[in-house]
Structure 1
Amino acid sequence: MSTETRTSSSTDGESPIKPTDLRGILKYVPMFRGQTFIISVDGSVVAHEGFRNLLMDLAVFRSLNIRVVLVHGVGQQIRSLGEKRGVPILDAYGSGPTNEEVLQLAIESSGDVSTRILSQFTELGVSCAIPNAIRATERGIIRGEDFLFTGKVEKVDAPVLEDLLSAGITPLVSPVAANRSGQILRVNSDAIAAEIAAELKASKLIFLTSHPGLPVNGQSLLNVPAEDLRRTMADNPSAIPAELLSKVESSLSALAKGTPRAHILDGRIFGALLTEVFDKVGLGTMIHSNEYDQIRPARPSDLHSLYNLIRNAASSDAVRERSFESIQESLSDFFLYEIDGSLVACAALIPYPKENVAEVGSVFVQPFYQGRGVGLKMIHYAEREAFAKGFDKLFALSTQTFSFFREVCHFSEATLEDLPQARQEILLHSGRRSKILMKDLKSSGTPS
């Protein structure tokens, strides 16, 4: 399982990186230009004093030609109105039954919030529109309980939304929608956002909440594969906070229909949205499909990034220093660990066919991802590749991570004479005094 946890989270109201760091942002512009993000913002975030800052972040997206659909909730607004008017609220979020009194509160709250967002977008110079692009249908009677005026999405009018986005207009979608007969229904905003993400083939579905990401069993997650989260939902749904269940269900639904990434983060933190999107670590929790992280062969387009990674590693003597030309010449030996398009780790599988052995070298994991199992995955990959190519043994030379190879990867210490003659000479001339570790692939087999 490749779930990653957060050791700490920011609670001081500011994101870990400055959203004005243009160098960090511009690096991602080619990756996201022209793509569609569905942003779902809770009513509690809309009510927060920093909401205008969030709209400014969305304005940044538009200026970078990232297409945005904004879906808003009204849960907190419904509760506030209900308290003022003495209307009991059993469910303010559109998942449980909605009676006529609560429906009227939802309609009024939706109008107020939509008007507020429209006004502030206009002030920021962002064109937006409120389309009737969602058609709802009644949820009906579930386990004997009539859900009355609670609805679910029946149809997303994708062409209408596409036309608006193509014209540079941000669609603003509220959590009330009409059915075929024109009856207004209360619909869960998380479910609306997920359906829109699937229909528009969005690259990201982002939930902005009043929670710092998604905790599972009390442990805040950095990222989690969708399959792992599905198993948790099936086996132990109580491990997930009740107030985030709707977002998890909607995330999984969107990913099952082709959306690659869903994010859950605290939208009240200044710069949180820009940090989540434009920083490789992010701020909240990302739920991803299986291709989110991968080990793959290096490509010519990776050459400069690979050289910089090895150069940084060599500066601390973690790996042997390599010239740009030597890396270029041996690029086909390298394989990379990539997370969401970012280079996280590298290694090379160097063949010595005369002796029928191979070396796994230039193994390095970016500091933030060390201790998260990435290095072990890289060694297992090298073992499988070496075994598949018919090599009898795999060896590694290490000055700093020999205990990792010995205790975690189950290599055994070897001697200089165990190395191919060519590699002996390189080691002797380097002066690095590396420890030699060897693994017999024929006897140990390969990791699954």
Structure 2
Amino acid sequence: MKPILVVDDDPQMRDALREAIQRLGYEATVAENGQDGLIKMAGTPFAMIITDMKMPRMDGLQFLKEVRRRVGNLPVLVITGYGTVENAVETMKEGATDYLMKPFSFDKLNAKISSIMESTAADREIITGNPKMVRLLQITRDVAAGDTTVLIYGESGTGKELIARYIHGQSLRKLKPFVAVNCAAIPEHLMESELFGHEKGSFTGATDKKPGKFELANDGTILLDEIGEMPMGLQAKLLRVLQEREIDRIGGKHTIPINTRVLATTNRDLRKEAAAGTFREDLYYRLSVFPLHVPPLRERPEDISLLSEYFVKKFSALLNKEVKGLTEDALSFLLRNEWRGNIRELENALHRAVLLSRGQLIDISDFMLDEPTPAQKTSLHADDNSKRGIKEMERDLIMKTLRDVNGNKTKAAKILGVNVRTIRNKLSEYGKNFPDE
């Protein structure tokens, strides 16, 4: 696994960033300034870079420009001081992957690093042997060359965002920002500010000027993830942005021209919703200039074994284990499963299996953290003693993980690839208790 390069002139910040990166399971290399960072880059390929803005000899912006000239689309997370909004906008225009404003919590830093590492892995890895997906990728490469607005639709967990990032990575905008906005995760009263920005004093709590996501994505690509969740009132404003190619900050006196390619994803049937009046029909047709359908995993049986091999290698390296693959019974179980949660469900299952596995091959019993699925029930024929052993492994794993995260059930659930309710149910079953976070 490639290390992460940290560039910062503050020794305490360098050490803190290195420790945070190592806690996430990645290696870290540190540099004192931009010139030192370029020297380190000459001998080592890196997975991503984290750089401060203000540094002697070569500041973060100069360093970013040189990284873009030498390496192309290597992801760069820029750390910038509070209130320097213009610097943040400029770094995004120069191709920064994302920025983090000081002061920040390490939870926010961890979230940024994890998101970037996952998304850039997705950029490199579209794993498929399925004829439908192969054809989809051929079409995707063709549509990437232009600036057409694309609507990517399909079930949750099928890889829609991955396809969107692939389009950006194959386009002429690939060295410019890719900004993803999860429309389902932003509260309705904050969404307009998040998309279009606001001026200082434009509403209660607007203590500083803030650029919106469209502005940050200028000259690059913006992904409106789960666009079907956008409120109707904001849909009209989005339609105007798409038609006029300009935005209005909240409280702003002038419009701001933008040059941003728009991609959107949805797990809903927006055609039916438009006909029913629950989604703007004019916006639907404006977004679906080029619609792409991503088929569910159950229609791609060829991909299950390929993806399983990839995830086993990924989590084995991340968790520092020596798992080499799956037994025939385990692979047969995976092929028979319906995977209603698609690739995301398969990934979580294999994450748990690698954690539980005590040998070099994953067996069916290693998939038993959640309640057994119908496919598991027909596949598992272990005797009572074996089941007790599995339950003990499961309990030990859950308790160890909770201790490692100081009892935070949300963090433990994320590490184990299950929901928080599963953790609480298991603790109740064991007669154990950790205080709610």
Based on CA coordinates, which of the two structures has the bigger radius of gyration?
Answer: 1
Higher relative contact order (CA 8 A, sep 6+): 1
More helix per residue: 1 or 2? 2
Structure 2 length as normaliser, TM-score?
0.28
